[in-house]
Structures are given as structure tokens and as C-alpha cells.
Amino acid sequence: MDRKEFLTTVGIGAVAAICTSCFAGCNPLDPMTNSPTNVDFTLNLADPTNSALNTNGGFIYKDNIIVARISNGSYIAVSSICTHQGNTIAYDVTANRFHCPAHGSNFATDGSVINGPASSSLTTYKTSLNATSLRVFS
């Protein structure tokens, strides 16, 4: 093997190794699995920073969780990370669903997928209201 052949072979091998590791991290079919675990926190609804939760359709973000007061007045909490590519979702009170503005995925209030490209449900969390304290927990 001469020098030119050797360098070509090494170069092709290096490019293949780099591309393989890059493409492995960019597979859009793999759902994001960065949902918070072991969740347990309490929100004071009398605190002005949480005032959005005093109105139907209001929502806040805390530690990669979106807590919303849905159209019927109930409180729900789901992972705020879209399972398609990890973008942040928002609550759409008009349609009573969670929407990912990045690629158009929509999720029901129970976290299930309404339409993709996301194919995995959002992680849901329990909520418990006691006067003005809203507990969110796993």
C-alpha cells in the first residue's frame, strides 16, 4: 500500500466514525426521555409569580414541568418537554390541549398524543389542591 492509498483509507475510516456518532445522536425517531422524575413541590397560588394559575387557561413552568389550569378549572401537570425533539410545549386553552410550536405536535390534557410528529405521550404528574397550596408530585 502506498502513501496515497493509506491516507485515503484512514480518511474514509475517520469520516465514517465521525458520521456514525453524529447521526446516532440526531435520530428524530427517538423520543426525548428527559422528563423529570421524583417530582414533589408545592406552589403557593397566592404568590404573584404563580398568578397565571388563578385563571382558567393560565399556566406556568417549573423545573421542566408545565402546570396548567385547564378550561374546566382543574389543575394538571405534565412534562414541558415535547417527546419529539425536546422543545418546550405550551397550553392552548382554546383547544384544551398542549401544543409544541416547533413542529406542531399536540397532546391531550392527559398527556396522550393527539397528532405528531411526536409519537410518545408526555409524562403526567399528580396535583392536589389544599386552599391556596397546589402540590405537584410523581
Q: Are residues 67 and 130 in the same domain?
A: yes
pLDDT at 19 > cutoff 50: no
Q: Are residues 61 and 125 in the same domain?
A: yes
Average pLDDT, the chain: 83
Q: Are residues 90 and 117 in the same domain?
A: yes
Task: Give the pLDDT confidence of 20-48 residue by residue, as tens digits.
Answer: 444 444 434 334 456 888 999 999 999 99
Q: How far apart are CA 79 and CA 68, in angstroms?
A: 11
Q: Are residues 71 and 21 in the same domain?
A: no
Q: Are residues 23 and 51 in the same domain?
A: no
Share of the chain above pLDDT 90, in %: 66
Q: Which domain holds residue 61?
A: 40-137
| Predicted model pTM | 0.74
- Cα-trace Rg, the chain: 22
Total tally of structural domains belonging to the chain: 2
Residue 76, in any domain of the structure: yes
